[in-house]
Amino acid sequence: MELELTSTQRTIKDTIRNYLTREIEPLVPDLEAERLIVYEPIRRMVRDLGLAGGPGQIVEAMTTSSADERLDLFIPPTVAIEISRVCAGLTLSYGASVGLAGGAILSRGTPEQKAQWGPRLMSFEQIGCWCLTEPDAGSAALRDMKTRAVRDGDHFVLNGSKTFITNAPYADVFVVYAKLRDGNADNVQAFIVERGDPGISTGPPLKKMGFRSSPTGQVFLSDCTVPADRLLGGGIKERDHVRQSLANERLGLQLISYGLMERAFDIAVRYARERQQGGQPIGEYQLVQRRLVRMYMALANARAFVYGDFIAGRRRAQSVADICAGKLYVAEMATFVAHEAIHILAGNGYMEEYVVERLARDAKLVELGGGTTEMQELTAGRWLVDHYGR
């Protein structure tokens, strides 16, 4: 079943959707063709909707809200889902800057780091990126990491490279993970690097199958020198801080997948009602109905993952297995639903004009990014054996 929303919640959702349909959707062809870079539309969206906490359309829509409407649990997933319905690449670039780079600094930075970079990243005055994956360290990102940091007096010197990094070609602030010698072991730590620091450079945007509106690239660190106070948090942190960022990324990717899935399903249902074949809408044929039902099953189950906190009315403590299983399921079902939508639209589904071919290309990435399907299975499986029921 669909979510039961109050009038205020419905108004907020409609406000976001109407804004994105009016202001962002017309830009998508140019964003996808890379004739327009995504960051100025994001800045305008952040300002107009009030996503950085200032006045905006969402704030105005909340004026009649009451405490029991759980807007703190409703608005964040709704914003991400609604953006992803229109342009998932925009969500990816926005989330990597605000959620991953900005979120890492605001949750684990020193007071000085939070004050210096937090406001500028959250308002999108500056573009952030989160640099973990390397050419030879993907699924085993921590174990196989080759990027190294060495203490040199009151500075750290970083050497290595990162790849498949969202926003890298245009980023102002880089949260870079590197192995730092701590006693007899190499401990993975995060460093704040700014464009313009000596020794950092980036490659051009990579050409991708999907998410073409979100620039992705490489980061190169060659004797990159940063002050010692750029060590995130100001001291050596345990590895769990990396895992928490990965968990946040996986939760965010669930929202992107759901937005893609919901839009594909909406298009398929509308097409099944309107497309005539044999003197009647194709939605009257049982085999088309069967496909729609299975798509809806996936959508309804995925909704329970992405709106779980809102449905429960509280922030739930999710285990590693919960997060990995959620990301795995919603990502796979987004690909399934998008491909089923293409099948229902048949030849039209293969054409750019009908949108679903882009949704399918975008959906596939989420099965790979933030840890592949196999890594979600292995990580969740290991947690279940070690912890479930204990």
End-to-end CA distance of the chain: 33
Q: Is 175 exposed, middle or buried (0-12, 13-18, 19+ CB in 10 A)?
A: buried
Amino acid at 343: H
Distance of CA 53 to the CA centre of its chain: 20
What is d(CA 247, CA 319) in angstroms, rounded to the nearest whole number?
A: 10
| Angle in degrees, 0-180, between the axes of helices 320-345 and 373-387, rounded to the nearest 10 | 150
Q: Which two tokens stand for residue 368?
A: 């790979």
Q: Give yes or no: 249 in active site.
A: yes
d(CA 362, CA 342): 13
**Alpha carbon distances (Å) from 136 to 146, 181, 241:** 8, 20, 22
Tokens of 377: 């299975």
Cα–Cα nearest to 87, from 51, 123, 45 = 45
If you write DSSP's letter for every residue of 322-388 in order, what string do you get? HHHHHHHHHHHHHHHHHHHHHHHHGGGGGSGGGSHHHHHHHHHHHTTTTS-HHHHHHHHHHHHHHHT
- The whole-angstrom separation of Cα 218 and Cα 220 is 7
**Active-site hit among 249, 262, 332, 340:** 249
Q: Name every residue whose Cβ is closer than 8 Å to that of residue 91 and which is 6 or more positions away in sequence.
A: 80, 83, 84, 255, 256, 259
How many CA atoms, within 13 angstroms, populate the side-chain half-sphere of residue 222?
3
Q: Please give the positions annotated as active site.
A: 249
